[in-house]
C-alpha cells in the first residue's frame, strides 16, 4: 500500500585477470491492484556506478591479495558515495582461475561479511555462465525474440557458455579457453597454464616459458581453441577435444540459433582493445581466432549489451529475487546465509505425507549435517495440492514432528514454498509451538543442491533472496 | 427459477467406462471435469443428476460418445495414467500453432479463453461446452444457497435481511443492506457487545464462494488474530446480504472493525470467488471510500488459507491507524 521503495544492490566480480564492481538502485513497487493481496516486484534497475576495470590483486600464483581487494572495494564505495551498510542486496562472484586459488573461499566470505548488509558469496563455473548470459543481455534477447541464444563469456581463465531459449536456461558448459592461459613478458612467453599444456601436447606443439611470443607460434593454439568452442556449441566434441572441458560436457538439448560473446576477450573482438596492450597475454590472438573461425561464423552473431562487465552486471542486477509479500519471518534471525536447499516434493497429494516429510528432513540432515553439528538447511516444499485449513494444520504437525530430528533447536526452521502459502504455514507452525523461530517464505523457485541467502525484511514486508551455487572448481 | 433443478443439472458427472469410482471424485470436488474426448480410449461423457440417487446411474443419462476414432487421435502425447486433460486454461487448443512455446506461455498467463482454436467459424465442442458450463455455474452460484451444515460446523448462526426471495434480492439492493427486525433482535441477544473485531459472512451474489472458501479463510483468519492477540466477537451469517449490511451491524454492536466475507458476483472465470470487506467503525452513513476489500479469494486466486493469514495483519493495521480505506492510505502517508 506504500508507494515504492528503493534498495541498493552491489555486484563484485573477482575474475582471473580483472576485478570490477557495479552498484545499482532497484525500485520495488506493489504491482497488485488495490483490492488484491500485495505483490511486490522490482520494476526498475538503474545502474548508479560502474567501477574501472582493475587487475585482480594477487600475492602469487596461488593466493589472492585479500587486503588489496578489500581496499579496492572500499575505495570504490567511497567514490560512489555509499557505505557498506547501505548495500541491501547483491552478489560477489569469484570466477575463472581465481576460483582455484587457495584462499578463494576465504576471500569470498570475508568480502561478503565486510562489503554490505546482505551481500551474497557465489562461485561455480555454471553460475558464472548463467550470470554472464543475463548481464550480456543474451537471456533478455532470447526471451524477446523467442530464439535460442548461446552466450559465451570469455575472460582470462575460462569460457563460460550458457544457452537460453525464450528466456529459459537450457544448459551450460565451461571450457579452459581464456586470454590469460598463456602470458607474455617482454615479447617472450612467461607462463603457460596446465590445461593449455595438455592441449599443446595433444597438438604436438611446443610453447613454453622463454619462447618468442610471435603470432605464428600462438596462432595454432588459439585456432584449436576456436575449433573446440565451435564443436562444443554443436555438441560434437571428440574425446581429445575434451581436454579443455571444465566439469560436465554441454548439457543443452536444443540447437543454437544465435551466439553472443561477452567477457574481456569479447572486448577485443568488438574492437575496444586493439593490441595485447596492458594484459600481455593471448587475449587479442584468441579474439582474432574466434572471429576467423569458419564454424563459429556459421551462426548469426549478436553483439552483447555489455562485454567485459557482463558478469559483474549480472551479479549486481540479476541475482536478487523478491519473496512473496505474505510471509512469516522472525526479523532477528535475518539475514541467513549459505543455506543448502533440500527439496520435499509432495507430488500433488498429502497421502503418506507424514513419511514424506520425515524422510525428507532425515535426508537433509544426513546430507548437510552428517556429524550433527547444527548446520541448518532450507526445506523447499513443492508439489503441494490445494490445501484446506485442516491440511495446513496436518502439514504443520508433520513438519514439527520431522524437525524434532534436528539436534539443534536453537536453529530456526527455514521453509521455502513454491506456492503462495508461507504466511498461513508460518503462523500455523508458530501457533503449534513456541520453542523455535520460524522463517517461512514463498514464491521462490529453487532447486535441490542450490544455496540460498535470505536478506533482511524490507519496508515492503518482503525479503530479498539470492539463489546460487557455491562450487570452487580446482 | 427452480434452484433444485439447476443444482441437479449442473452436477455433471463425468465417468469413464470401467472406472465408476471416479464418480466419487467428481462429485466430491463439486467442480466438473471434462474428459479428453480425443483420447484413444473409448470414453463418453455422462451427464445426469446424482444429488438424490447416485446409485442409479445407468438409466436416464445422456451419453455423448467419443466422436473421434482412436487411430485419428492426436493425443498420443498424454501418457499420464489419469487421462483427464489439464484445465482448458493451461492448454493450447489451436491444432497446429506456429509458435507453440509462445502460445503456451500466453495461455498459462491468463484464465481468459485465448488460444482455444476453432472449428471452421465456430468454437470447438469442448470450448463451447465449457463456456456453457461456466455460464451455468455462474447462474447457479447466484441462485444457490449455503448448506446449513457448513455454518453449523463453524458455529455461525443465521440472520436475514429484509429480502425474502432471490429475485427480490437482485432487484432491490437496498433491501439487502437492511437487516430484518428479527435479525436485529437475534444479534443483540446472541452477540458480544463492542468487540474489537466483528466477523460476518454472507452469501451475497455467490453461495458457492461461501461453500468453497469460508471454512478455510475463516479458520485461518481466527488463527492469525489469535496470534496477533486481537480479540474478536461472536461471528454470524447474514443470508442474502449486501456489503453495506455491515453498517447496521456496526450500529447494533459497535465493534471497532468489521470484517465481512461475502460472495462476489460470479463471472465466467470463477463462480466461487470470495471477498473480504473491512471497515473501521462502520455505521449508518459510512461512505464507500472508507471500506476496503481483499478480493479474488478462491483456489484459482489467492488461496483462502493464505488470505486469512494475511487479513490478520490488515486488521492490525486498521486498529493501529484507526482508519480504513482511503482514510487509512492517507494516514499511512
ipTM: 0.82
Q: Which of B215, B293, B309 is the closest to A326 by Cβ?
A: B309
CB contact under 8 A, B305 and A427: no
Indicate whether B155 and B59 sit together in one domain.
no
Q: What is the mean pLDDT of residues B26-55?
A: 41
CB contact under 8 A, A146 and B215: no
Helices vs. strands in chain A: H and E counts, helices first: 13, 23
Indicate whether B235 and B275 sit together in one domain.
yes
Which regions of chain A are under pLDDT 50?
Answer: 1-2, 276
- State the count of interchain CB pairs (< 8 A) between A and B: 79
The answer to whether B329 contacts chain A (CB < 8 Å) is: yes
The answer to whether A389 contacts chain B (CB < 8 Å) is: yes
Distance to chain B for A426, nearest Cα, Å: 9
- What is the Cα A318 distance to its own chain's centre? 9
CB atoms under 10 Å from CB of B9, counted, come to 14
From residue A157, give the alpha-carbon distance in Å to each of A97, A122, A192, A409.
5, 17, 12, 44
Residues of B in contact with A419 (CB under 8 A): 303
Q: Which pLDDT value is given to residue A472?
A: 64
Indicate whether B219 and B311 sit together in one domain.
yes
B170 DSSP β-pair partners: none
Q: What would the pLDDT profile of A286-304 be if each residue is shown by its tens digit?
A: 999 999 999 999 999 999 9
Indicate whether B126 and B155 sit together in one domain.
no
Indicate whether B231 and B213 sit together in one domain.
yes
Indicate whether B211 and B174 sit together in one domain.
yes
The answer to whether A427 contacts chain B (CB < 8 Å) is: yes
CB contact under 8 A, B306 and A421: yes
CB contact under 8 A, A146 and B293: no
Q: What would the pLDDT profile of A361-413 be if each residue is shown by its tens digit?
A: 999 999 888 888 888 999 999 999 999 999 999 999 999 999 999 888 889 99
Q: What would the pLDDT profile of B202-237 be if each residue is shown by its tens digit?
A: 999 999 999 999 999 999 999 999 999 999 999 999
CATH number of the domain encompassing residue B259: 3.40.50.11240
Indicate whether B28 and B121 sit together in one domain.
yes
Indicate whether B179 and B164 sit together in one domain.
yes
The answer to whether A37 contacts chain B (CB < 8 Å) is: yes
Among B142, B177, B209, the domain boundary falls at: B142
Among B142, B172, B196, the domain boundary falls at: B142
Give the residue among A410, A334, A399, A310 at the shortest CA–CA distance from A50. A310
| Enclosing domain of residue B316 | 148-332
Indicate whether B83 and B173 sit together in one domain.
no
Per-residue confidence at B50, pLDDT binned at 50, 70, 90? Answer: very low
Please tell me which residue, B45 or B91, carries the higher pLDDT value: B91
d(CA A3, CA A34): 12
Q: Which pLDDT value is given to residue A440?
A: 96
Q: Which pLDDT value is given to residue B19?
A: 42
Distance to chain A for B64, nearest Cα, Å: 31
Q: Which pLDDT value is given to residue B8?
A: 53
Among B125, B142, B159, the domain boundary falls at: B142
Give the residue among A421, A455, A319 at the shortest CA–CA distance from A11. A319
CB contact under 8 A, B293 and A35: yes
CB contact under 8 A, B309 and A424: yes
Query: What cell was used for B291?
Result: 471500506
From residue A427, give the alpha-carbon distance in Å to each of A330, B226, B227, B259.
11, 10, 8, 20
Indicate whether B154 and B299 sit together in one domain.
yes
CB contact under 8 A, B102 and A146: yes
Indicate whether B65 and B155 sit together in one domain.
no
CB contact under 8 A, B226 and A36: no
H/E stretch holding B64 reads strand B62-65
Residue B311 scores a pLDDT above 90: yes
Q: What residue of A is the nearest CA neighbor of B227?
A: A431
Indicate whether B164 and B208 sit together in one domain.
yes
Residue B73 scores a pLDDT above 60: no
Per-residue confidence at B319, pLDDT binned at 50, 70, 90? Answer: very high
Q: What would the pLDDT profile of B172-200 be if each residue is shown by its tens digit?
A: 999 999 999 999 999 999 999 999 999 99
Q: What would the pLDDT profile of B87-125 be if each residue is shown by its tens digit?
A: 666 678 888 888 887 888 888 888 888 899 999 999 998
CATH number of the domain encompassing residue B100: 1.10.30.40
End-to-end Cα, chain A, rounded Å = 49
Alpha helices in chain B (DSSP H): 3-10, 22-29, 100-109, 125-143, 148-153, 166-171, 173-176, 181-190, 207-228, 245-253, 304-321, 325-332
CB B316 within 8 A of CB B228: yes
Q: Which pLDDT value is given to residue A161?
A: 96
Residues of A in contact with B220 (CB under 8 A): 389, 392, 424, 427
Q: What domain count does chain B have? A: 2
Amino acid at each position: 500500500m506504500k508507494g515504492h521503495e528503493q534498495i541498493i544492490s552491489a555486484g563484485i566480480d573477482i575474475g582471473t585477470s580483472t576485478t570490477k564492481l557495479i552498484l545499482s538502485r532497484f525500485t520495488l513497487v506493489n504491482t497488485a491492484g488495490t483490492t488484491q493481496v500485495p505483490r511486490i516486484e522490482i520494476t526498475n534497475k538503474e545502474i548508479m556506478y560502474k567501477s574501472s576495470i582493475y587487475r585482480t590483486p594477487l600475492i602469487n600464483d596461488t593466493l589472492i591479495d585479500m587486503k588489496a581487494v578489500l581496499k579496492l572495494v572500499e575505495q570504490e564505495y567511497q567514490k560512489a558515495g555509499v557505505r557498506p551498510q547501505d548495500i541491501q542486496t547483491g552478489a560477489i562472484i569469484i570466477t575463472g582461475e581465481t576460483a582455484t586459488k587457495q584462499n578463494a573461499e576465504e576471500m569470498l566470505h570475508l568480502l561478503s561479511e565486510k562489503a554490505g548488509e546482505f551481500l551474497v558469496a557465489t562461485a561455480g563455473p555454471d553460475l558464472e555462465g548463467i550470470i554472464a548470459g543475463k548481464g550480456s543481455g543474451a537471456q533478455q534477447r532470447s526471451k524477446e525474440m523467442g530464439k535460442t541464444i548461446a552466450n559465451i563469456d570469455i575472460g582470462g581463465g575460462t569460457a563460460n557458455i550458457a544457452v537460453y531459449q525464450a528466456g529459459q536456461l537450457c544448459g551450460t558448459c565451461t571450457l579452459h579457453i581464456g586470454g590469460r592461459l598463456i602470458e607474455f613478458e617482454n615479447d617472450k612467453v612467461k607462463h603457460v597454464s596446465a590445461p593449455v599444456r595438455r592441449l599443446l601436447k595433444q597438438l604436438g606443439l611446443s610453447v613454453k616459458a622463454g619462447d618468442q611470443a610471435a603470432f605464428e607460434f600462438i596462432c595454432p593454439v588459439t585456432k584449436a581453441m576456436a575449433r573446440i568452442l565451435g564443436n562444443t556449441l554443436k555438441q560434437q566434441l571428440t574425446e581429445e577435444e575434451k581436454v579443455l572441458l571444465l566439469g560436465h560436457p554441454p548439457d543443452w538439448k536444443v540447437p543454437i540459433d544465435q551466439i553472443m560473446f561477452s567477457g574481456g576477450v569479447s572486448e577485443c573482438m568488438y574492437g575496444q582493445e586493439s593490441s595485447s596492450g596492458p594484459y600481455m597475454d593471448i587475449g587479442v590472438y584468441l579474439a582474432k581466432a574466434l572471429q576467423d573461425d569458419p564454424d563459429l561464423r556459421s551462426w548469426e552473431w549478436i553483439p552483447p549489451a555489455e562485454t567485459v562487465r557482463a558478469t559483474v552486471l549480472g551479479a549486481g542486477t540479476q541475482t536478487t529475487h523478491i519473496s512473496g509479500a505474505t510471509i512469516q519471518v522472525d526479523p532477528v534471525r535475518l539475514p541467513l546465509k549459505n543455506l543448502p536447499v533440500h527439496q520435499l516434493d509432495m507430488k500433488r497429494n498429502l497421502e503418506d505425507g507424514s513419511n514424506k516429510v520425515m524422510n525428507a528432513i532425515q535426508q537433509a540432515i544426513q546430507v548437510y549435517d552428517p556429524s550433527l553439528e547444527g548446520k541448518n538447511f532450507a526445506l523447499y516444499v513443492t508439489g503441494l495440492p490445494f490445501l484446506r485449513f485442516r491440511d495446513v494444520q496436518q502439514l504443520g504437525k508433520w513438519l514439527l514432528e520431522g524437525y524434532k530430528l534436528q539436534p539443534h533447536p536453537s536453529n530456526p526452521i527455514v521453509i521455502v514454498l513454491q506456492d503462495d502459502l508461507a504466511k498461513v504455514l508460518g503462523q500455523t507452525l508458530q501457533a503449534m509451538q513456541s520453542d523455535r523461530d520460524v522463517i517461512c517464505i514463498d514464491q521462490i523457485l529453487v532447486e535441490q543442491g542450490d544455496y540460498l541467502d535470505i536478506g533482511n525484511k524490507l519496508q515492503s514486508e518482503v525479503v530479498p533472496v539470492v539463489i546460487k551455487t557455491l562450487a570452487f572448481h580446482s | 427459477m427452480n434452484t433444485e433443478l439447476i443444482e441437479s443439472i449442473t452436477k455433471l458427472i463425468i465417468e469413464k467406462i470401467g472406472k465408476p469410482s471416479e464418480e466419487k471424485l467428481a462429485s466430491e470436488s463439486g467442480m466438473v471435469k471434462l474428459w479428453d474426448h480425443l483420447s484413444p480410449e473409448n470414453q463418453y461423457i455422462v451427464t445426469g443428476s446424482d444429488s438424490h440417487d447416485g446409485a442409479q446411474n445407468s438409466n436416464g443419462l445422456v451419453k455423448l460418445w467419443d466422436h473421434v476414432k482412436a487411430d485419428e487421435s492426436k493425443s498420443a502425447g498424454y501418457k499420464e495414467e489419469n487421462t483427464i486433460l489439464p484445465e482448458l486454461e493451461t492448454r493450447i487448443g489451436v491444432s497446429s500453432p506456429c509458435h507453440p512455446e509462445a502460445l503456451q506461455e500466453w495461455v498459462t498467463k491468463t484464465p481468459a479463453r485465448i488460444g482455444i482454436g476453432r472449428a471452421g467459424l465456430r468454437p470447438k465442442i469442448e470450448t463451447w461446452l465449457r463456456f456453457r458450463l461456466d455460464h451455468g455455474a455462474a447462474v447457479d452460484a447466484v441462485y444457490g444457497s449455503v448448506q446449513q451444515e457448513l455454518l453449523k460446523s463453524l458455529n455461525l448462526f443465521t440472520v436475514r435481511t429484509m429480502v425474502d426471495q432471490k429475485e427480490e434480492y437482485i432487484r432491490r439492493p437496498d433491501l439487502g443492506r437492511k437487516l430484518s427486525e428479527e435479525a436485529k433482535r437475534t444479534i443483540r441477544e446472541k452477540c458480544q457487545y463492542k468487540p474489537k473485531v466483528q466477523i460476518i459472512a454472507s452469501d451475497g451474489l455467490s453461495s458457492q464462494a461461501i461453500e468453497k472458501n469460508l471454512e478455510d479463510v475463516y479458520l485461518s483468519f481466527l488463527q492469525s488474530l489469535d496470534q496477533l492477540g486481537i480479540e474478536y466477537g461472536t461471528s454470524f451469517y447474514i443470508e442474502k446480504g449486501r456489503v453495506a449490511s455491515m453498517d447496521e451491524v456496526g450500529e447494533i454492536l459497535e465493534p471497532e472493525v468489521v470484517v465481512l466475507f461475502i460472495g462476489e458476483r460470479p463471472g465466467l472465470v470463477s463462480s466461487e470467488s470470495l471477498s473480504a470487506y473491512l471497515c473501521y467503525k462502520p455505521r449508518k452513513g459510512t461512505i464507500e471510500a472508507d471500506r476496503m476489500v481483499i478480493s479474488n479469494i478462491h483456489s484459482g486466486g489467492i488461496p483462502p488459507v493464505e488470505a486469512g493469514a494475511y487479513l490478520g495483519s490488515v486488521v492490525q493495521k486498521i486498529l493501529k491507524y484507526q482508519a480504513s480505506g482511503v482514510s487509512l492510505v492517507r494516514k499511512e502517508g
